[in-house]
Structure 1
Amino acid sequence: MTILCETVAPPAAALPLAPVPAQAAAAAPARVRSRVTVPLRFPDGFTAVAEVLTFHGLADGKEHLLLAFGDWEQALPAPAEGSAGPLVRLHSECLTGDVFGSERCDCGPQLREAVERISGAGGFLLYLRQEGRGIGLYSKLDAYALQDTGLDTYEANLALGHGEDERDYTAAAQMLQAVGAGTVRLLSNNPDKAAQLTGLGIGVAEQVPTGVHLSPANRRYLAAKRDHTAHTLTLPADVGPVLSEPIPSHADMLARVDALVPRLRERAEETESLRRLPEATMAELAEAGVFRMLAPKAVGGFGMGVESYAEVIRRLARGCASTAWTAGHLSEHVWMLARWPAAVQDEVFADGPAPLAAATNAPIGSAVRVPGGYSITGSWSFASGVMHSEWALLGVEHDGARLQCLVPVADLELLDVWHTAGLRGTGSNDLRAERLFVPERRVADWALLSAADNPGSGIHQDPVLHTPMAALLNMVAPAAALGAAEYAVELFRERMIVRKVKNTVENRQADSPLAQARFAQAYGLLATARLQWEEGVRVVASSHGRRPSAVTDEERAASRLALALSGEASAEAVRLVTSGSGGSIHRLAHPLQRIQRDVNVLLNHPTLTIDPILEQAGRGLLGLGYTVPSF
């Protein structure tokens, strides 16, 4: 690490100096004291390189820092250009939020967001030693205690004898002047920052809002900033209920699901006969919180990650593959709704944290622009979970662009066509619409919704909302196949222990060397399927947990390949145990024949169809690029 200090460095004039405006005449110019390059790494894996500047002559005598990111020198406006200037964030120190990750404020997520955005645009983050809006760390914690009695953040400061906001940005103006940033684009929701900088002679060409990092713990805090000091905040989840119970851990969630498995097995035949999930199953899934798994914490969801989501589907499939498939997609569609802009989130989360929606893009419908929105026409297949849904997410095309429409199921014609060999309990029926009007707010660009930086990711701080859409869409079929295969091998083992095979000398099938070898082979295939599945999930979770979220072609190929090979091994394990279990398993009441049919249908889903996956994965691993854009 090299530090260039005043005693050894070129004079501070190496950085452009701006004249001190008349408005800031009370504060003498500051000058750069030292510059040092510091590589940064955040807990989510995001990295950036900062040039950290310290100063002499700051008005309050505190050790404030200026962190320069990206092409900041190019962003400085030349006198004759009239440029908007560098992107600048004035970030007041918050030990609890920045260091310890406190959710009582939004400081930590704002700091993380600011570093990424400024790194891309070129500019400065000023880290100002003004803890607790200027009242200090101990007083801030005292204010927290008062807030727990019902006061808001401003009322608590006043009750302690402080001002509502004691921060002063004179030193910030001096620092910006010292590096020649006389005009800036201010990254902030706080109008007071812009007003103070303007009064101190710094031009604010634009005030750029930060994301809204909402959680159950900071909802009142953000609402007070919005209502009391006119922060530019939109809180779409205000109408939704705050979660009144503790958010379950990963282990707690799996324990809840494991407790459901025996009852899912008891109801599997009924599920298949109904061609949808029984109401008792839906009630138990809701009570366990399965549909809340991926919902944002701010609306009462659990905000869980990819690993928890995939593992829940796998374990549900040990009870009933149709239940796992339906619950997995309904949970995933809650996550899809949380990616929409605020206006839609206000609507769909108004009645709770888990609005149920079906989603289908096959085949794509058509949309025509009309006053106030779009008129859509189409017939959409495979709307899994539609029998339990209030909403439907439908893919349409307009002028060559793919859009997604959010439509009440009651406005659509439901076609009862789900008569299939397997996964009969998913109720994946068809939907039809003819010139149906969809208001503008319920239509969005698919590319925007499916991207890592979607509208919802700027509203909620849950990391899973940065996961690109395709990553979770590919999770359900492999997890369901693996869980179903695990159940099949369990049934085969139990059957071997008691079954007497005709025309043999053994008292039970387990005593046959050939049966022993068959079980060992099935067990080994299951172990292979499990390892491949775990690797596929790991690649997705690790790559999409990074910010900025950027998955490489090789990572995408490795994940899709591992999940597809897991499905192949799961299906082969099922084939082995069913072919060695005798003719009686083909009675419709026997679970093994149901598992065999369910897994056969799963293998024909695009997320497990092996030939195109092998081709595209090979291209990705060889660096040749994909010929199927959606891969």
Structure 2
Amino acid sequence: MNRDPLPPLTAFPPVPFDAPGRTSPVAGAPTLSQLGDAARAMVPYLREQARNTELERRVSQKSTDMFREAGFFKLMQPARFGGYEYGFTAFIEIISELARGCASSAWGCSLGAIHQWAVSTFPEQAQQDVWGENPYAIMCGSYAPAGKAEKVDGGYTVQGEWHWASNVDNSEWALLGVVFPPNEDGTSPGAGFVLVPRKDWRIEDNWHVVGQAGTGSKTVAIDQPVFVPAHRRLTFAEASSNNPPGASVNTNPIYRIPFLSAVPVCLASPMLGNAQGAIEVFEELCGSRVTRGAVAGGGNRLSQFFPVQSRLAEAYASVDAARLLLYRDTTEVEKMAASHTIIDVPTRIRNRRDHAFSTRLCHQAVEGLFSSVGGAGLSLDQPLQRMWRDANMMARHISLNWDAVSSMVGQYHLGLEPKGQY
């Protein structure tokens, strides 16, 4: 008896969360659906160019121009400078879509786009400095306070080296972590960020890595002290305050969200899309590859093996779970900000946990798929091996590393002082 074909399974259904940030408040801005279509249309090109991106060790100027023309760097930029003022939930959707094609390219776009939000939390004059003459300017960043800021009249001088500044080749500015000197009353503002234009730093080309090579995460070097005006300073305390300096001029509530409550999604989103892309590539490989050699099951398609079927199912479940965690958390903080509710420490700790755990789920998904393909998956022209290397690289980022983040979360639940950034 003939059976009707099974209905298609929607791999990743529409987001079931009604987040404020999924709608732009800016008249004439493209809809999220239109932006998503533009990202989807780029996936074949990004996948085709991914090997070259890795070999060049940077995101190409052409890809960067495509991101800019599509409006992706305007996603979270203030309307006053031509931006769309979308929230983090919209951001996740666009960046994860791009990462289906190339995780390194999506990572570069992700950092360029998220730093538009970060600049928006600085004082108004800093925003004018960055975008006043060039509203299309984007920036790289190195968050660790690797340099000291020396107090001088009107601001600070900074000098040093800042590593892992992703997409530095395509950036007009740099957001750099520093330690600030004590205030006049002896209290210390601690660490924070300064904004430095491209003319004041050089690129040290030292990015030679096994995964995510295309991110171009090279070093920003300032060999001689350069002046940074005081208005281009943002302390970590201000960034986490629910009311950073930029909130007085950028009234959209997304600019009040504490820095680490949502910003790490710029790292988790490429991981999410990379895992989705790995599933797609794996399914294509299973449909075409026939096993060879004197082994049990030789001559059968990969798709006929139980472990392959099981690992594919687990990958789907893991990626879907990771996606739901990220959307739930970002939806909640967007709603809290919109209602002028303080985003408290328990919420921040929970979000940091889920940034890392969603990454762990995606990493496990790619590991499981890659373990099933045998020698056919090892060729350098086979996308899955690059996706596997990229996944391992991203999972080791300190902001996403499960060992680092989970210990902080465990400390919090045990009543200890959490040792980490949240």
When normalised by structure 2's length, the TM-score is 0.86
Amino acid at match of 1:518: R
Letter aligned with residue 628 of structure 1: K
Gaps of 5+ in 2: 1-18, 182-187
The question of 1:586 aligning with 2:378 is answered yes
Distance 1:582 1:391, change over 3 A: same
The one-letter code sitting in structure 1 at the alignment partner of 2:262 is L
**CA distance in 2 between partners of 1:496 and 1:626 (Å):** 48
Q: Could you tell me how far 1:216 is from its partner in structure 2?
A: 7.2
Percent identity among equivalent residues?
Answer: 31
Give the residue type in structure 2 aligned to 1:479. Answer: S
Higher helix share: 2
Residue type of the partner of 1:612?
A: A
Structure 1 unaligned regions, length at least 5 = 1-43, 46-102, 104-214, 218-245
Q: How many residues align?
A: 390
Instruction: Classify 1:625/1:544 alpha carbon distance in 2 versus 1 (closer, same or farther; 3 Å).
Output: farther
Q: How far apart, CA to CA, are the structure 1 residues paired with 2:233 and 2:312? A: 52
- Aligned-pair CA distance for 1:365: 0.5
Deviation at 1:441, TM superposition (A): 3.3
- The aligned counterpart of 2:392 is 600
State whether structure 2 residue 412 is matched by structure 1 residue 412: no
* Structure 2 counterparts to residues 354-433 of structure 1, below 5 A: 354-399=136-181, 400=188, 401-433=190-222
Aligned to 2:312: 519
> Partners in 2 of 1:488 and 1:605 — Cα distance?
20
Name the CA distance, whole Å, in 2 between partners of 1:314 and 1:344. Answer: 30
* Match for residue 437 of structure 1 among 227, 230, 240: 227
- Structure-2 change in CA distance of 1:355 and 1:625 (3 Å): farther
Contact 1:450 1:470 in 2 (8 A): yes
Q: How far apart, CA to CA, are the structure 1 residues paired with 2:180 and 2:306?
A: 63
Counterpart check, 1:577 vs 2:369: yes
Aligned residues of 2:114 and 2:266 also touching (Cα < 8 A): no
In 1, Cα distance between equivalents of 2:274 and 2:126: 36
User: What secondary structure, in the 3-state scheme, does the structure 1 residue paired with 2:329 have?
Assistant: helix
Verify the 8 A CA contact 2:144 2:178 in the aligned structure 1.
no
Partners of 1:297 and 1:312 lie apart in 2 by 19
What residue in structure 2 maps to residue 118 of structure 1? Answer: none
Q: Which has the higher contact order (CA 8 A, sep 6+)?
A: 2
Q: Distance in 1 between matches of 2:236 and 2:355?
A: 25
The reply to whether residue 564 of structure 1 matches residue 366 of structure 2 is no
- State the shift of 1:609 in Å: 1.0
User: Does the 8 Å contact 2:207/2:218 carry over to 1?
Assistant: yes
**CA shift in 2, pair 1:441/1:536, >3 Å:** closer
Aligned match of 1:478: 268
Matched, 1:276 2:58: yes
Aligned equivalents of 2:362 and 2:420: distance in 1?
Answer: 27
Deviations 1:421-444 (A, max 9, x none): 111111111112232222333334
Distance 2:155 2:307 in 1: 66
Work out the CA distance in 1 between the residues paired with 2:331 and 2:160.
Answer: 37
Does the CA-based 8 Å contact 1:323-1:426 persist in structure 2? yes
Say which is worse superposed, 396-405 or 248-257, in terms of deviation. Answer: 396-405
Distance 1:472 1:555, change over 3 A: closer
Q: CA deviation at 1:527?
A: 3.0
Corresponding residue of 2:253: 463
Kindly indicate whether the alpha-carbon contact (under 8 Å) linking 2:254 and 2:334 is maintained by their aligned counterparts in 1.
no
Query: Are the counterparts in 2 of residues 300 and 352 from structure 1 also a CA contact under 8 Å?
Result: no
Please say which structure displays the higher CA radius of gyration: 1
After superposition, residues 269-348 of structure 1 pair within 5 angstroms as 269-348=51-130
Pick one of 278, 296, 301 that aligns with 1:488.
Answer: 278
Task: Quickly say closer, same or farther: Cα 1:525–1:266, change in 2 above 3 A.
Answer: same
What is the distance in 2 between the residues matched to 1:408 and 1:431? 11
TM-score (norm 1): 0.59
Q: Post-superposition shift, 1:574?
A: 0.7
1:88-109 per-position Cα deviation (integer Å, ceiling 9, x unaligned): xxxxxxxxxxxxxxx9xxxxxx
